[in-house]
Every structure is written in structure tokens, then in C-alpha cells.
Amino acid sequence: MTEPVCAQKSPYAVGLESGDYFWCACGRSKNQPFCDGSHVKTDILPVKFTVTQKETKYLCGCKTTKHAPFCDGSHKSL
């Protein structure tokens, strides 16, 4: 099983419009925190999530959250 790469040890604060998004779960995307297809050589898939109204979300950067794609503070123990 492929292990995710820690992209950064803090969340990404991103202002999002309503719509569907794909969060990079593998940590290899050059478009963090979003998927760019870099996971194709792994067994890790991106996580689709939907935003229903314009708002700021805090997306996990360390890729160890238990509440993907959202930060749960797991980076504090790395």
C-alpha cells in the first residue's frame, strides 16, 4: 500500500465557491490541496467533496486527517 506524502504540516485555508472539488489525498499533486492526477502511480484516490455555499474551508495538508478532506489537527502530532 502506498503511503501519502505530507505536503505541508498545516492546513490549507481556501476560499471556495459552491461546487464539487477533489482533494489530493496522496500528497503528490503540484496543485495542492487539490488533485492534479498525480495519484495515478499509487493506490490512493482523491476525495470528492461538495461545497454548497461560498465559504473558507481548512483542508488537510499533512494527509493524515481522520476527517478527509478537512483538517482535524493531526499535523500537530507529526
pLDDT, mean over the chain: 97
Distance CA 28, CA 12 (A): 15
Domain for residue 1, yes or no?
A: no
Domain for residue 41, yes or no?
A: yes
Domain for residue 5, yes or no?
A: no
Domain for residue 40, yes or no?
A: yes
| Confidence at residue 30, expressed as pLDDT on a 0 to 100 scale | 98
| Confidence at residue 1, expressed as pLDDT on a 0 to 100 scale | 79
The domain of 45 spans 12-77
Q: Rounded to 10 degrees, what is the CA torsion of 5, 11, 12, 17?
A: 120
The total domain count for the chain is: 1
| Confidence at residue 43, expressed as pLDDT on a 0 to 100 scale | 96
pLDDT tens figures, 11-26? 999 999 999 999 999 9
> pTM of the full predicted structure?
0.95
Domain for residue 3, yes or no?
A: no
Domain for residue 44, yes or no?
A: yes
Average pLDDT score over residue span 43-69: 98
Domain for residue 7, yes or no?
A: no
Domain for residue 54, yes or no?
A: yes
